[in-house]
Structure 1
Amino acid sequence: MTDIAPARTGAANAAVKHEIYWRETEPVTPGPPLRGEVTCDVCIIGGGYTAMWTAHFLHKADPRLRIHILEADYAGAGASGHNDGFVTPTIGHSLGALVHRFGAERAKLAYAAVGKSMLELNRFCVKNEVDAEFESAGYYQVAAGPDQIRLLERDLDLAARLGAQSGLDLLDRERARERIDSPAIQAAVKVGGALINPHRLARGLFRTVTAAGIAVHEQTRALSVESTAVGHVVRTPHGRVTATTLLYATNAYQHQFAEFRRKVVPVWSYAAVTRPLTEQELGAVHWPEREGFVEAGNFIVFGRLTAGNRLLFGGGRAHYRFRRDMDVPRHIDNPRATETLRAVLARYFPAWREVPFTHTYGGCVAITREVVPHIGALGDGRFYAHGYCGNGIALTHTAGKALRDLILDRDTSYSNLLFVRGKEKPFPPEPLAFLGAGAVSNLLAAQDRHPGLIRRQLV
């Protein structure tokens, strides 16, 4: 591996933007807000993946349904459009926790459903001409030391219990570096999955559902919800929607509704993106298939190349803000998180350590007390889904099918998945939630630093 100096261009020397990089890849002009009164069969609050996939599958099942989606900004403006673009089979935080809580058989069924969604995502993009920059090479779970190698070995054992393909193999340092030539990688396991541009997927999905006749009202915030004799009434700044069925699909914003105040919390996660690598720089590191990688641990770090040959790094320690603070102008920039990600870049790819970041930013991940997603019904024609724990691209596709079957009162394999209609433990009220989050975060970080001292899986 050869160190090379970064190209000194105007773009390289430009000020760092504290903005979501993906949004530059496809400009968006939000549609007009809802004005007036609407009556429909299904009203969905939130305009991200969960909302649009559910609407898509409901329309396929019954084209007669009148479906209206309400989105405060533009469709896909939240985590759906600014996540890091890893299409993974992961449910919740870890495979080990899932097997421990639900058993191997139920975990196997859930992973099979999400695996099917990963395949169908690509087919959806091809069929509907959605250019989501889909790269199906998958990604690697990697270990940077002996303790992380043991974590990979544990997950391989669990995967074998779930009937994973025999080709799942732990690559030693030499074989791993044939795939991604990084001095930090000591071992790796190839995982099925893909890399995408999440913003372009969200906008392509938006175009698909609106072309099917589903109404998506952008710039339309839900101000209040009232259940009446004629249906559930959602009031917005300039209008009102009355619907027989109501779906809450706001994920990290779900806590803003009283029913979910203590069921889900937003946790800040950060990412950094470099300027495009030059051909000379790309040639300095052997990375032939361009797979992403995720480092094993409680607080993961990860890296990938974008379609435009930028490096994207993300992860590190998660941050819960007091009283579920989601103030973007205050928290989108986190210099400490950026410093951590700069160190990750230098550790994994010394040849690129001087390549400048052009974008650094944060966004919120929705976390539940059990660190698994929850999909369910409130029992009066209201449904919900939240808590994808940062792994929602494929999982929201599966969730859309589960919500379709719940709403249509179908007893299917999707309506009986382990994350559907399960018991939910509430978070404690403030300030206990804030203090507890800090304590758990410190404990998880300590386990990452000294795994030999705390061997039990915590989450």
Structure 2
Amino acid sequence: MVGTQSAGAKSGNTRAFEAKHEIYWRETEHVVPGPALREDVECDLVIVGGGYTAMWTAFFLKQADPSMDIHILESEFAGAGGSGHNDGFVTPTIGHSLSALVHRFGAERAKLAYAVIGKSMLELDRFCRKHGVDAEFERTGYFQVATNEAQRAMLERDIDLIGKFGSGSAIELLDAAAAQERIGSPAIQAAFKVGGALINPHKLARGLHRVVTEMGVHVHESTKVLEVNRTSRGHVATTPLARVTAPNVLLATNAYQHQFSQFKHKVAPVWSYAAVTEPLTDKQLAQVNWPDREGFVEAGNFIVFGRLTAGNRLLFGGGKVEYHFGRGMDESKYIDSPAATAALRAVLERYFPQWRDVRFSHTYGGAVAMTREIIPHVGTLGDGVFYGHGYCGNGIALTHAAGKVLRDLILRRDTTYTNLLFVNGKEKPYPPEPFCYLGAKGLSALLAAQDRYPGLIRGQIV
């Protein structure tokens, strides 16, 4: 199988090594899902989905009004989706790129949104320390890196935009020698430092689950929602064994959001892949100068990124994403992609040839919720229906901020949060099949061509 054979086999080691096609993070904290809801409930708010958006909203609502009765319905366990199996980069990124955001919304609105997300990054750290959540929080920040001149130009453009925000000291663009003193990769030709952190996303989700449960939020795991209907008594979420009725409902299933009729053409799930190595030995770690362990993200349309985990495994992810006809979500079909694994093996060898023989222990994919504008959407449909989705692969800090937005919307407040650029915006729908599939394939080919031949296609694609 491509990508599951040890690279060491090329040098005479013929022992086959089968990588697990399972989410690595789940091995760091075992979860036994809670029991299904078995009795009908009436409450103030029912939330469909048990990820970050759901739990942060419940957290902030309970802070604002401890008497509020909130029930979260999750088909697996809290954090089982993208919240718990993302790659653990806490970033200020909103959507596809800073330049695209400024192009669409203007510098002032973009600056405000980035300030809010920056505040959320700080508060995530404080939350973990205050509540004893061992999310393996590393306050390292990360580097935006370039491996060629076209990517270097992209970094220079972003530095120029950040400078126009007037956000403090100037950002320094490091040349190849200076960048490689920070991350000892011969591939890196330029870089600049970005504020942020690295975490274990699964442990953050499970810690957040513990905290909101202690606050009195009812989290029903193993409870799949079959349908949500409006009745004279309110919104009714029907599960296999019970019904939950409430005047307010939050639809927070992200990559699964298209399963609700209101969002059928608003969200497209695309599959992104990651590979995790066996733990690096002290001898292997000494082969690469990486003193502060910052993660890195390569500039481009289809970004690739790398980081060390708390257990000194190397994680690579990103590259070309895949959209499957009819919004395919079958994990048994799509969690393993030999082509993606081979591409990530090539990324490892390009960045760290010293580690070319390190074996992958886990290779896996997960669904990322993409909106057509490549920005998140948070808001209300009116009549007590609220939503949050489309974090486009950058949801850790964004969902924390979205929780505050949804708190204020549900409490019918008009605040800075409820007027952010990604709140109650007009969403462009995706076309129906087969046009959605054909369009995704065409755009993917165009973006890949621009990454591979940057002089071929110029201008703002998204």
Q: Would you call these one fold, judging by a TM-score over 0.5?
A: yes
**How large is the RMSD of aligned CA atoms in angstroms?**
1.4
1:162 to 162, 165, 174: 165
Q: CA deviation at 1:24?
A: 0.1
- 1:455 CA drift (Å): 1.6
User: After TM superposition, which residue ranges in structure 1, 4 or more long, deviate above 3 angstroms?
Assistant: none
2:4 corresponds to which residue? none
Post-superposition Cα deviations, 1:386-429, rounded to whole Å, max 9, x if no partner, equal 00000000000000000000110111100000000111010000
Matching residue's letter, 2:97: S
Q: Report whether the alignment pairs 1:193 with 2:174.
A: no
Deviations 1:427-447 (A, max 9, x none): 000000000000000000011
**Residues 163 and 170 of structure 2 are in contact (CA less than 8 Å); yes or no, is this contact kept in structure 1?**
no
Q: Which amino acid aligns with 1:68?
A: H
Aligned position for 1:454: 457
The match for 1:42 is 45
Deviation at 1:14?
4.5
Instruction: Verify: 1:126 aligned to 2:129, yes or no.
Output: yes
- Hey, what does 2:55 align to over in structure 1? 52
How far off its partner does 1:13 sit? 6.4
Letter in structure 2 aligned against 1:38: V
Q: CA deviation at 1:258?
A: 0.6
**Residue identity opposite 2:256 in structure 1:** Y
Q: Which amino acid aligns with 1:298?
A: N
Matched, 1:388 2:391: yes
Amino acid of the residue matched to residue 135 of structure 2? A
Q: Distance in 2 between matches of 1:168 and 1:208?
A: 37
Residue-by-residue CA offset, 1:44-83 (whole Å, 9 max, x unaligned):
0000000000000000000110000000000000000000
SS at match of 2:317: strand
1:397–1:286: structure 2 CA closer, same or farther, 3 Å change rule? Answer: same
Return the letter of the residue paired with 2:295. Answer: G
The one-letter code matched in structure 2 to 1:116 is: K
> 2-side partners of 1:72 and 1:259: how far apart?
20
Q: Could you tell me how far apart the structure 2 residues matched to 1:81 and 1:140 are?
A: 23
The equivalent of 1:210 in structure 2 is 213
C-alpha deviation, 1:376, in angstroms: 1.0
Rounded to whole Å, the distance in 2 between the matches of 1:181 and 1:136 is 20
The CA deviation at 1:164 is 2.8
| 1:293 and 2:286 aligned | no
Matching residue within 101, 104, 108 for 2:107? 104
2:90 is the counterpart of 1:87: yes
Q: Distance in 1 between matches of 2:439 and 2:168?
A: 39
Query: Could you tell me how far apart the structure 2 residues matched to 1:191 and 1:227 are?
Result: 45
Q: Alpha-carbon deviations, 1:304-330, whole Å to 9, x = none? A: 000000000000001000000010011
Mapped partners of 2:213, 2:281: distance in 1: 39
Map 1:15-414; keep pairs closer than 5 Å: 15-414=18-417
2:53 is paired with a residue of what secondary structure?
helix
- Residue 5 of structure 1 and its aligned partner are, at CA, apart by 8.0
Distance 2:66 2:165 in 1: 37
TM-fit CA distance, 1:226: 0.9
Q: Which runs of 5+ in 1 are unaligned?
A: none
Q: Residue deviations 1:276-332, cap 9 Å, x none?
A: 000000000000000000000000000000000000000000100000001001110
Alignment of 1:434 onto 2:437: yes
Distance 1:114 1:163 in 2: 16
Structure 2 regions of 5+ residues with no counterpart?
A: 1-6
* Structure 2 contact 87–317 (Cα < 8 Å) conserved: yes
Please tell me the residue identity of whatever aligns with 1:319: E
**How many angstroms does 1:162 deviate by?**
1.5
Distance in 2 (CA, whole Å) between partners of 1:449 and 1:165 is 34
Displacement of 1:454 after TM fit? 1.4
**Distance (Å, rounded) in 2 between the aligned partners of 1:390 and 1:446:** 21
Per-residue displacement from partner, 1:184-218 (whole Å, max 9, x unpaired)? 00000100000000000000000000011100000
- Normalising by structure 1, report the TM-score: 0.97
Q: Supply the distance in 1 between the matched residues of 2:444 and 2:142 (Cα, whole angstroms).
A: 26
Q: Which amino acid aligns with 1:297?
A: G
Percent identical among aligned pairs is 69
Distance of 1:278 and 1:447 partners within structure 2: 38
- The number of residue pairs the alignment matches comes to 453
The residue identity in structure 1 corresponding to 2:133 is V
Partners of 2:216 and 2:160 lie apart in 1 by: 47
Aligned-pair CA distance for 1:259:
0.6
Instruction: Name the CA distance, whole Å, in 2 between partners of 1:178 and 1:13.
Output: 36
Return the alpha-carbon distance in structure 2 between the equivalents of residues 134 and 54 of structure 1: 22
Say which SS state the counterpart of residue 84 (structure 2) adopts: helix
Q: By how many angstroms is 1:168 displaced?
A: 1.4
